[in-house]
Amino acid sequence: MLGFLVGAILYGLTYPQVFPKISALANLGSVVLADLIHANPWLLIILFTEITLILFYVLGKTGDPRAKADQVGSTGQKA
């Protein structure tokens, strides 16, 4: 708990000096990912859609790990 408090105080004290420098480095204006990598926006939409569908498929096949953990009793054997 003390670490959280010390971290919050240090963050509050250093924020005014650190934030402007970091903000100046990352200030690219109003851009989107497709503009940054010089790609067709529809290509990125299709790519991210396919990645999401594959992720859902894999997660659906592997099942819910929390449900498997609930089946194991306190002795380590299945109920």
According to the model, what pLDDT value does residue 17 have?
Answer: 92
Question: CA-CA distance, 22 to 28, in Å (whole number)?
Answer: 12
According to the model, what pLDDT value does residue 77 have?
Answer: 59
Decide if 8 contacts 14 (C-beta within 8 A).
no
Phi and psi torsions of 26, nearest 5°: -95, 10
How much is the pTM?
Answer: 0.51
- As averages over each run of 10 residues, the pLDDT of the chain (79 residues) reads 95 93 84 92 97 95 77 58
**Assigned token pair, 19:** 């934030």
